[in-house]
Amino acid sequence: MKILDNVKKAVFALLMISGPMHVIGQQDPIYSQYIFNMQTINPAYVGSWQTMGFTALSRNQWVGITGHPTTQTFSFQTPVISQNVGVGLDVILDQLGSERRIILNLDYSYRIKLSDPTSLRFGLKGGFTNYNNDLASLRPFQDNIPDPVLLGAIDNKFMPNVGFGLFLSSPKYYLSLSTPKLFQNKIKENTVNFSRMSETREYYLLGGIVFDLSDRIKFKPTFMTKAAAGSPFQYDLSANFLLADKFWIGGIYRSGDAVGVIAQWIISSRLRVGYAYDFTLTDMKYYHVGVHELMISYEIAFTKKRFASPRYF
């Protein structure tokens, strides 16, 4: 009951904080395995592993369609100064057709202990996006007459941005509130009078809790909501089971978009391998063979002290 009381209080506090925010736009890559690494979404998450951690993730969306979206992500995080400070780095290569974005961010978090098992982290994110769109590669020709609007490139080499987040957690539950980007950057075409909004604000609210169903089975329901003007309000719901502290298996539903399955093998206390498969619910399902996502994480502990084992999120 104490855990549920803390969750209720935290939800109320986060909603009070997020209520007055003006919500617009959405553009960051989406992930199905965010439940195992929220660093790209929330900088306050770094340091929460209490180990030095490395994660690589590859997402191939709408496989079978030429120029389908692909996202490659690498992240690093580590706690410093007696576990109260966390720092991290995340690098994202996001491609869609002729578009390419390289995103690099540094993350910082500071932990305040609310009780022996519960802590609240405050996080800051800072970095930049390198954007390029080679319009000529789209082959915009009809009857051998080039379209002058689509010749050239949309190019903006340096778009700085900052973000912030809050992360409330204990060994068995978490709540997360964040906005990864606060600045609204515009991209301008180099040769003609063309511009569009490239980076816009979006807000995330996430939560999850772990229940012991038996000595060898644990159940973890989670949710994620994303709010942005110009796109529909979106939420993800997932349900995952941990079997014998070695294998996660579950499913995910993304509102109006997809359903999927998630699996993760905890090979050791250091190494994990995860896979997710999404199947689109929209008419796009007739044109591709699904969405595949592979994740590998590796951790290095600084001490022999055992924390919540295994790590649940």
Please write the tens of the pLDDT for every residue from 226-276.
998 677 788 999 999 999 999 999 999 999 889 999 999 999 989 999 999
Instruction: Give the alpha-carbon dihedral of 192, 128, 277, 173, to 10 degrees.
Output: -140
Which sequence spans correspond to the domains of the chain? 2-300
| Selected residue with higher pLDDT from 306 and 233 | 233
* Predicted confidence (pLDDT) per residue in 23-47, tens digit: 333 467 889 999 899 999 999 999 9
Kind of pairing between the strands at 185-188 and 234-243: unpaired
pTM of the model: 0.84
**Most confident by average pLDDT, 68-72, 121-125, 183-187, 201-205:** 121-125
Share of the chain above pLDDT 70, in %: 77
Query: For residue 12, is pLDDT > 50?
Result: no
pLDDT band at 169 (very low <50, low <70, confident <90, very high): very high
Q: Are the C-beta atoms of 31 and 94 separated by less than 8 Å?
A: no
pLDDT band at 303 (very low <50, low <70, confident <90, very high): low
| Selected residue with higher pLDDT from 74 and 81 | 74
CA 278 to chain centre: 16
Instruction: Round the average pLDDT of the chain to a whole number and report it.
Output: 83
Task: Name the CATH superfamily for 2-300.
Answer: monomeric porin ompg (2.40.160.40)
Q: What pLDDT does residue 22 have?
A: 37
- Lowest-pLDDT range of 107-111, 134-138, 178-182, 231-235: 134-138
Query: For residue 199, is pLDDT > 50?
Result: yes
What are the Cα distances from residue 169, in Å, to 79, 154, 248, 252?
Answer: 15, 42, 20, 22
